[in-house]
Amino acid sequence: MIAIFTALMPIFLVIALGIGLRRWLAPDVAFWRTVERITYYVLFPSLLVHTLMTTSLPGGEVLTSLLSLLLPAVCVTLFVLTLRKPLGLNGKDFPSFLMGAIRFNSYAGLAAAYALYGDDGLALFALLLAVYIPTVNVISTAALARYASASGTSIPTVLRAIATNPVVLACIFGLSLNLLEIRLPLVIDRTLGILGASALGMGLISVGAALHLQSMRSDKRTIVLASILKLLVLPCVAWVFCLIFGVEGYARSIVVLFAALPCSPAAYVLARQMGGNAELMAGIISAGTAAAILSIPLVLALFG
């Protein structure tokens, strides 16, 4: 566990740097939104295309790894639905609670996959990413449309956004180049390499800048329960499915790591746009990210 913690600690230090930079150097929210957009639309896709294009892709464990990740998310979603009435969660609170239990931080995940398992881990994580992103966005959007007072953002609009998601498109493009054994011109390849090299650092800094630590004081019971479901229950269920489907080695570790990631700041934006409880969402994201410093090494040591 100490070795895992040591490998992951630089990731959390960069996130902490983002918190400090926003507080003391660049408090302007508009600045950080611009940084986040550049990372999301340029740097992050460049990293995925370059990685998937140039790395030897994992073999037969991809399908079983996908099932071992998607089925636990469905199970946790169904379990959370049974908790809505017992917990007394109103329309706006429930979708935020659900998103906090199943959504993930892709920046932290890619950085952790690369730190622990190198290019192979990064490639498998990217493949899981391409499938999990649409799945979790459909679940989140459906919950918001069903239980929150959605206004201004229709389901077709959100589904169209998923279909044009730069992360999904980058994964498809990079994977296609790899399977077809097509290599981009050297100049473009090196350009993507340079841009991709800065993606993880900028992404992690953006994660830290997006955290709202004061929001953790809002609904402590819901925040704690959502964090437990996301950081502990979901990876445990994923580990069980890995055993069922025979997923072993670094593939099992990547699946467990993926499931153990804290909720992404993008969930806050979605909750704000579609009528969810944005303040509660911010609290879940912030608390989960802070707790992940200890929970991810623990989960990987036990199940990875």
Q: How far, in Å, CA of 85 to CA of 287, rounded?
A: 24
Q: How far, in Å, CA of 284 to CA of 143, rounded?
A: 17
Residue of 164, 95, 195 lying closest to 136 (CA atoms): 95
Q: What is the dihedral of CA 22, 16, 284, 299, to 10 degrees?
A: 160
| Token pair for 177 | 């180049």
pLDDT at 147 over 90: no
pLDDT at 151 over 70: no
The residue-averaged pLDDT of 256-267 equals: 90
User: Contact at 8 Å (CB) between 203 and 44?
Assistant: yes
| Mean pLDDT of the chain, nearest integer | 86
- For residue range 59-118, list pLDDT tens digits in order: 667 889 999 999 999 999 999 999 888 888 877 889 999 999 999 888 888 889 988 888
Can you say how many angstroms the Cα of residue 300 is from the centroid of all Cα atoms in its chain?
17
Q: Which residues contact 111 (CB under 8 A, 6 or more apart)?
A: 11, 14, 200, 203, 204
Any idea which residue has 């004081």 for tokens?
A: 217
Provide the pLDDT confidence category of residue 1 given band limits of 50, 70 and 90: low
> What is the percentage of the chain residues whose pLDDT exceeds 70?
93
262: phi then psi, degrees, rounded to nearest 5: -70, 165
The residue-averaged pLDDT of 252-259 equals: 94
Q: Which residue has the higher pLDDT, 245 or 271?
A: 245
| Token pair for 62 | 């991809």
Measure the CA angle with vertex 288, ends 10 and 145; round to 5°: 130
pLDDT value, residue 274: 75
Q: What is the dihedral of CA 137, 139, 144, 146, to 10 degrees?
A: 150
Query: Cβ atoms within 10 A of the Cβ of 188, count?
Result: 12
| Token pair for 39 | 């990372």
pLDDT value, residue 135: 86
pLDDT value, residue 174: 87
- Amino acid letter for position 137: N
- For residue range 203-243, list pLDDT tens digits in order: 889 888 888 777 667 778 899 999 999 999 999 999 999 99
- For residue range 282-300, list pLDDT tens digits in order: 899 989 998 998 999 999 9
pLDDT value, residue 106: 86
pLDDT value, residue 231: 95
Architecture of domain 2-303: Up-down Bundle (1.20)
Q: How far, in Å, CA of 284 to CA of 264, rounded?
A: 10
Q: Which residues contact 231 (CB under 8 A, 6 or more apart)?
A: 260, 262, 288, 291, 292, 295, 296, 299
Q: How far, in Å, CA of 285 to CA of 146, rounded?
A: 22
Q: Which residue has the higher pLDDT, 37 or 75?
A: 75
Q: How far, in Å, CA of 139 to CA of 162, rounded?
A: 12
Q: DSSP of 9-69, one letter per residue?
A: HHHHHHHHHHHHIIIII---HHHHHHHHHHIIIIIHHHHHHHHHHHSPPP-THHHHHHHHH
Least confident of 6-20, 99-113, 133-147, 235-249: 133-147
Provide the pLDDT confidence category of residue 58 given band limits of 50, 70 and 90: low
User: Contact at 8 Å (CB) between 283 and 267?
Assistant: no
pLDDT value, residue 44: 86
